[in-house]
Amino acid sequence: MAKIINGDECMEIERNVYLNRLINKKNNGMIKVITGIRRCGKSYLLDPIFRNHLIKEGIPADHIIKIELDRASNIKYHKDAEAFEYYISSLIKDDNPYYLLLDEIQLVEGFEFVLSGLLYEKNVDVYVTGSNSKFLSSDIATVFRGRGDQICVAPLAFSEFYAARGGEKFECWNEYLMFGGMPLILSKSGDEEKSKYLIELFSQTYFKDIVECNKIRRTDLLDSITNVLASAVGSLTNTQKIYNTFKSYGEKELSLNTVNSYLSYLEDAFIVKKALRYDVKGRKYINTPHKYYFADLGLRNARLNFRQQEETHLMENAIYNELLYRGYNVDVGVVEIREKGKRVQTEVDFVCNMGTNRIYIQSALTLDTPEKTMQESRSLNNIQDSFKKIIVVKDAIKSWRTEDGILIIGVIDFLLDPESIMR
């Protein structure tokens, strides 16, 4: 439970989904790697939330070791992994269980070798946070050989945001669509202060990290590509399309490889996530085009100075983030159908998989006419399997089913009640 101070009020944010994931992985012999965009609450998850759990379980406070590597006092370890390893060893004084919480571990050059050595310490359970996925896909995957266990933390889900903020649900929903779920947004008063915080967070934190980490020279291109993605939320795109857009404006120094690299930098920083297209009937992935969604709606809006507020696309982005929060693997679905002797590709917004379970979800602002209901149901009705099919609608008050058995559910019920889609 994290606390956000706003004036004289103290709002408590429970992040029980992530806490339970940590608890389930406790003492499993692996390095627990907690990743996610900066300022989304990774540190709060470790301390105080997880730390308080450990203390309630009877772990002595001096056997819970937290080292924050983004503090000035720990800069000395950034280029001296050996000294860092020695310092950790000096804190382990007996054979009783220790819980080691390392914040922003990627700042230590050669950190992977320190963590690899800790795997041999039988009484040390290790938890690390990091704000860049590159070290996950390369260093941890290679060096740990399957002994790194990832937990990806996102900004506040709508249910977490509403639980802390309270008030009228649709008013809260509209605020969430505009300013997103970065935890500190709850401590800001007024639209101007919230907007300024998000704009500065993007430029002073995320962009600076990406530029410094990847030694980017053309910061103007990074800025422009990010804006293109922000404008294209919910729309199909690919590297070639983005490249062609810039070339049409007379950009001569740009290459396809540069566009690809900049997109990967934004993904590595957890700012955006790419959703692949999946051919439902053909049971195969389609390499291109695909969609990009932002980890936080407020950050997406900040990139466009809060101008483009297409609720259809913002709602789709919010549903995508919610599905990831619930643990689904999410793709964009393609369903090919025959109409008047021609093959036509239709889209299912989300194909959601968790183990052997699958759900098809369509996002729609309204189903105010039979024709609109038929249009939104079209692709779902052409999927010939028995998995649940759902349309999430903004203005639905009470859940109902179409004649074909498709569940229609309001977005507020969908976001606040995970069991609502199981009925």
Q: Which CATH architecture has domain 2-152?
A: 3-Layer(aba) Sandwich (3.40)
pTM above 0.85, yes or no: yes
Cis preceding linkage at 48, omega within 30: yes
> Rounded distance, CA 180 to CA 161, Å?
9
DSSP β-bridge partners for residue 413: none
Q: According to the model, what pLDDT value does residue 136 have?
A: 52
- What token pair was written down for 23? 């608890």
3-state secondary structure 241-292: HHHHHHHHCCCCCCCHHHHHHHHHHHHHCCCEEEEEEEECCCCEEEEEEEEE
- Contact status, residue 392 vs residue 364, Cβ threshold 8 Å: yes
pLDDT digits (tens, 9 = 90+) for 240-258: 999 998 988 888 788 999 9
* Residue 216 identity: I
Q: According to the model, what pLDDT value does residue 372 have?
A: 93
User: What is the separation, in whole angstroms, between the first and last Cα of the chain?
Assistant: 30
In the chain, list all ranges with CATH 3.40.50.300.
2-152
Nearest Cα to Cα of residue 178 among 275, 305, 273: 305
What Rg do the C-alpha atoms of the chain give, in angstroms?
Answer: 23
How confident is the model over 64-68, as a mean pLDDT? 96
Looking at per-residue confidence, does 327 or 131 come out higher?
Answer: 327
- Contact status, residue 353 vs residue 371, Cβ threshold 8 Å: no
Burial class (CB in 10 A: 0-12, 13-18, 19+), 399: middle
Q: In the predicted model, is pLDDT for residue 310 greater than 60? A: yes
Looking at per-residue confidence, does 421 or 387 come out higher?
Answer: 387
Looking at per-residue confidence, does 1 or 305 come out higher?
Answer: 305
Q: Look up residue 406 and give its DSSP letter.
A: -
Q: In the predicted model, is pLDDT for residue 146 greater than 80? A: no
